[in-house]
Amino acid sequence: MQRVPGMTMQRLIPMLVLGLLCQSTVTLIAQDAEEILEQEQAALTTAVNRAAPSIVQIETIGGLEKVGDMLAATGPTTGVVVSADGLIISSAFNFITKPASILVTTPSGKRATANIIARDHSRMLVLLKVNTEEQFVVPQVAKTEQMEVGQWTIAAGRTLSRENINWSIGILSAKNRIWGKAIQSDANISPDNYGGPLIDIHGNIMGILVPLSPQGQGNEIAGAEWYDSGIGFAIPLADVMPRVKHMAEGNDLHPGLLGVSINVKDMYADPVEIGAVQPKSPAYEAGIKTGDRITAINGNPVVRHVQLRHLLGAQYAGDTVEVTIARGERSFPVNVTLAEKLLPFEHAFLGVLPMRDKSDATIRFVYPDSPAATAGLKAGDVITMLKKTPVDSSDQLRSVISNLEPGGQVSLTFKRGQATQTVDVTLASLPSETPESLPAPRSEVANGDGDATRGRIEIKIPEEQNDCICYVPTTYDPTKAAGLLVWLHAPGEQDVDALLDTWKSRCSQNNLIFLAPQAANEGRWTPGESDFIRKTIDEVIKTYSIDQSRVVMHGHQGGGSMSYLVGFAHRDIVRAIIPIDAVIPARTPVRANDPIERLAVYSITPATSRLKAAITAGLKRLANAKYPVHDRSIANPDGTIEEAQIQEMLRWLDTLDRI
């Protein structure tokens, strides 16, 4: 034996023994780990096998090849049995192509035709009835109250084979997601298993796999972009089962609407104070009023707006909820039956623009032939009361009018110098014409004071690959809030600096900041980039003083369509959309017009545009929903706007705070 330098045999032997013991221990640990993995695999396989008889393959035949910008899948999909006589629940995503026929694999392995008999428009599900005499196996349903974050979950489908289940594992990441409608898992959830079940380790069905968007966009494909992100959703089957009988009778389910708008800047922090109650809504019929605070829903405390959205988000039209109201020192409950639809809300119009640098409701401009003009109001008058409600500011005046309807008659008190007068005013609808000239919105013009960075600025969002350029005019004054114009380029049009050169003087003259986010792929915008655009807007608002009534999306062709998408997805901040030669993207949900989250559209269309018919149809859709819409035609086929038309557009932008 070779002698180890510096080490005696007496010292070497114990070390060799210790090494052998360690090696044995490692071997035992490895064997134990392998056994644990085998046991886990066996348990997961047993769970899938237990649920498998209730998982069916669905085939669709015919229908659309493309939905919006997305190519529709044509392969088999999955559904889950909810009754022995052949009622199947599945994701609405699987039927967006409007197939001509539907086939479902029965327990015997045969295929039978099926029909969609009802849809859940809140949770994006469909209920099918299979035309067969065969009996199906109804699964065991997991109880939502027994689900725990961190437990095993199995996302399953019968997409790749009729005989075998395709499945992936993960954990339950969260409960009560998507405003109380869904549970979340990091298992692989994708079109391969949409409509299939999320299974627990015991083989019980936890939920139905669906694409859903955290932004609540409310259509069948919203959330599909989260595929392969580790974020997937399922609708708890325990929430679905009590509604199956009603749906089986051919009744669609819709989100329940209360009919109130909340005064909120931060939904995670602000209390729930009602800013407007829509006329003829469930809240209006229940006697809920502007200024009331909602403190509970069905006995569940409500402190912040986000809690209200969670509690109401899970409710359906026709559900009756108990709403606890705080009014002054009183607190009392009212029962409200939620509605499927609300009558389109139309903004009432007094006919004035307010001065922007006054704390009171001083009139800057009176629209000709408006109710205010008919009543004799003039620029410089100060409105102090409307409908016997004291008015201390232009924001408060706007809030009072947001609860009124066109055609309503109200008393109005105003001061002119030292004299006070009261007149009766009959409110009108918002005008479709733009004033030919406007006085200055402030007593003093912006002078460029302050330490804010001005000129051309690059904005980089750390987690995004997109670029973004911002231009702040040298005249920017942080004491005088600026409007924010967000330009979204058409595919292939990314010469931002040339564009900035044409807008610098316009920004200075109109107190505007110009923001130009760029698509990651210069050839097209993608729906997922809506979040990036919002982040750039938030960055500007965080850094500069922005007039919240003049945050405007503006874009050409594909950028104009993206402007619609961003505008409707971020109603809390966007107040206007100016699309050039652009249509509303297919399947974009047009939310109801809102008394507080105001949104106006100024559409510009070349007279020879190939999209003219589609653009006109989209604008009619908005007008029917009572959105204020301006439709302008231009001569240049490439969408280039003459300076006179740009100046009219800028004047329109300057009137977005009209009352």
Q: Could you report the average pLDDT of every consecutive run of 10 residues in the chain (659 residues)? A: 37 47 52 73 90 95 60 77 97 90 93 96 96 96 94 92 89 91 93 94 96 61 50 94 96 95 80 89 94 95 91 94 95 96 93 93 96 96 94 93 92 95 96 91 66 90 91 93 96 83 93 95 89 96 95 96 94 96 86 91 94 95 95 85 92 96
**Helix (H) or strand (E) run with residue 606 in it:** strand 600-606
3-state class (DSSP) for residue 91: strand
As a whole number of Å, the CA-based R_g of the chain is 30
- Provide CB contacts within 8 A for 581, sequence distance 6+: 556, 557, 560, 604, 605, 606, 609, 611, 615, 639
Q: How far apart are CA 541 and CA 515, in angstroms?
A: 11
pLDDT at position 27 is: 55
Residue 32, exposed/middle/buried by CB under 10 A (0-12, 13-18, 19+)? Answer: exposed
Region of 178 please: left (phi>0), alpha (psi -120 to 50) or beta: left
172 and 149 in contact (C-beta within 8 Å)?
A: yes
pLDDT at position 651 is: 96
Q: How far apart are CA 122 and CA 313, in angstroms?
A: 9
204 and 87 in contact (C-beta within 8 Å)?
A: no
Torsion sign, CA atoms 425, 426, 428, 434: negative
CATH of domain 260-337: 2.30.42.10
pLDDT at position 6 is: 37
pLDDT at position 226 is: 47
In the block, tokens 């026929």 appear at 101
Please say whether the structural domain 455-654 has been given the CATH code 3.90.1300.10.
Answer: no
> Which pair of tokens denotes residue 341?
């639809």
Counts of helices then strands in the chain (DSSP H, E): 12, 36
Torsion sign, CA atoms 205, 209, 214, 218: negative
Rounded to 10°, the helix 529-543/558-569 angle is 70
**Helix (H) or strand (E) run with residue 586 in it:** none
> Which pair of tokens denotes residue 605?
């269309």
Nearest residue to 338 (alpha-carbon basis) of 414, 423, 259, 272? 259
Q: How far apart are CA 495 and CA 489, in angstroms?
A: 9
Cα-based distances in Å from 459 to 146, 474, 530: 46, 18, 16
**Helical ranges in 383-495 per DSSP H:** 394-401
Residue 435, exposed/middle/buried by CB under 10 A (0-12, 13-18, 19+)? Answer: middle
CATH of domain 51-248: 2.40.10.120
Q: How far apart are CA 436 and CA 203, in angstroms?
A: 70
Which neighbouring-strand residues pair with 482?
546
**DSSP assignment, residue 629?**
E
Determine the topology of domain 348-429 in CATH: Pdz3 Domain (2.30.42)
**DSSP assignment, residue 596?**
S
> Which pair of tokens denotes residue 138?
């109804």
Alpha carbon 567 to its chain's center: 10
3-state class (DSSP) for residue 169: strand
Q: How far apart are CA 8 and CA 18, in angstroms?
A: 16
**Helix (H) or strand (E) run with residue 37 in it:** helix 9-51
**DSSP assignment, residue 45?**
H
Rounded to 10°, the helix 643-654/496-510 angle is 50
Q: pTM for this one?
A: 0.79
Torsion sign, CA atoms 381, 386, 388, 389: negative
Which neighbouring-strand residues pair with 182?
177
For the chain, give every domain's residue range. 51-248, 260-337, 348-429, 455-654
578 and 561 in contact (C-beta within 8 Å)?
A: no
If one counts every other C-beta atom within 10 angstroms of the C-beta of residue 520, the result is 14
pLDDT at position 636 is: 83
Nearest residue to 601 (alpha-carbon basis) of 610, 133, 399, 588? 588
- Provide CB contacts within 8 A for 310, sequence distance 6+: 176, 179, 180
Nearest residue to 473 (alpha-carbon basis) of 442, 446, 497? 446
277 and 323 in contact (C-beta within 8 Å)?
A: no
348-429 has the same fold as 51-248: no
Which neighbouring-strand residues pair with 78?
57
**Helical ranges in 158-259 per DSSP H:** 177-180, 237-248
Nearest residue to 442 (alpha-carbon basis) of 379, 351, 356? 356
Query: DSSP readout, 107-163?
Result: TTS-EEEEEEEEEETTTTEEEEEE--SPPPPPPPBPPGGG--TT-EEEEEE--S-SS
566 and 553 in contact (C-beta within 8 Å)?
A: yes
Nearest residue to 509 (alpha-carbon basis) of 647, 303, 372, 337? 647
If one counts every other C-beta atom within 10 angstroms of the C-beta of residue 446, the result is 19
> Which pair of tokens denotes residue 655?
């009137």
In the block, tokens 């949104």 appear at 599
Q: How far apart are CA 354 and CA 394, in angstroms?
A: 6
Q: How far apart are CA 517 and CA 487, in angstroms?
A: 7
Q: How far apart are CA 456 and CA 516, in angstroms?
A: 11
**Helix (H) or strand (E) run with residue 545 in it:** none
Nearest residue to 118 (alpha-carbon basis) of 254, 252, 318, 256? 252
pLDDT at position 592 is: 86
Maximum Cα interatomic distance, the chain, rounded to a whole number of Å: 117
Q: How far apart are CA 76 and CA 57, in angstroms?
A: 7
Residue 304, exposed/middle/buried by CB under 10 A (0-12, 13-18, 19+)? Answer: middle
